[in-house]
Amino acid sequence: MSDIDIGTEQGVLTMRFNRPAKKNAITAAMYQVMADTLKAADADAAVRVVLIKGAADIFTAGNDLEDFMKNPPAGSDSPVFQFLYNISHAKKPLVAAVTGAAVGIGTTMLLHCDVVYAGDNAKFTLPFAALGLCPEAASSLLLPAIAGYQRAAEKLLFGEPFDAHEAREMGFVNQVLPAAEVAAFALGRAQKLAQLPASSVRTTKALMRSAHLKAVEAQMTDEGAHFRKMLTSPEAKEAFSAFFERRKPDFSTFA
């Protein structure tokens, strides 16, 4: 059993987080699999749509904090940044099915998906500032553009969880469904997309995405430079240690 399950059926490639013991937290090895899968999907005519999903009670807890502490991504070609590059440049449509918590990159990756369906048990969190980090995945550009500046700022600064209805009002969730129905509904939508003329679907997506792609690339580069530096900061060390020690972090001594 792999931490990322991959299977293709009727033109839909499904990528499923499958690391339940760690709430589907994403390690460098998992990022590499996802980055490679997205790249291969773009080159494979048998794949028309990519569906991203997690488990019924957890989408993903985001970056694996232990892995990040032990092996912080050193350069822009590290697995997490390869994944972000490939998801933001994906040519085939990406459908997401979110049930349970979607933390950090679990939420920011959705900004690169084309349609997002969420369960009424979904909970989104952008805890970067609270972890001594900064936004990634061009979320500091895309979220204000999608949701408006103040709504994005509240989520990115405070890092408090919010539900699927609020995510829908913000504009990055298409539809909220009973949690038990999300997986089948999203698969049905992906299959429907897979039956449409593939080149028209790809061109429609490319036209919508291309207008902002350069700005997204530039923002990701900027965010990535800050993020890599901040990962080894004393603030991040305090935040990560506090998480594993199940205590409240104390940032009072840092300027």
87-118 burial code (b ≥16 CB/10 A, e <16): bbebebbbbbbbbbbbbbbbbbbbbbbbbbbb
Residue nearest to ligand COA (CB): 104
Site for ligand COA in 129-148 (CB under 6 A): 131
Helix, strand, coil: what percent of the chain each, to 5?
A: 50, 15, 30
Kindly state whether residue 186 participates in binding ligand COA, applying the rule CB under 6 A.
no
Q: How far is the CB of 240 from ligand COA (least distance, A)?
A: 8
Closer by beta carbon to ligand COA, 12 or else 102: 102
Strands 123-125 and 162-163: antiparallel
Kindly state whether residue 61 participates in binding ligand COA, applying the rule CB under 6 A.
yes
Binds ligand COA (CB under 6 A): choice among 14, 37, 63, 82: 63
Kindly state whether residue 231 participates in binding ligand COA, applying the rule CB under 6 A.
no
Kindly state whether residue 62 participates in binding ligand COA, applying the rule CB under 6 A.
yes
Asked if residues 51 and 17 have their Cβ atoms less than 8 Å apart, the reply is no
Closer by beta carbon to ligand COA, 22 or else 226: 22
Asked if residues 14 and 2 have their Cβ atoms less than 8 Å apart, the reply is no
Q: Which residues of this protein are in contact with ligand COA, per CB under 6 A?
A: 22-23, 25, 61-66, 101, 103-104, 127, 131, 243
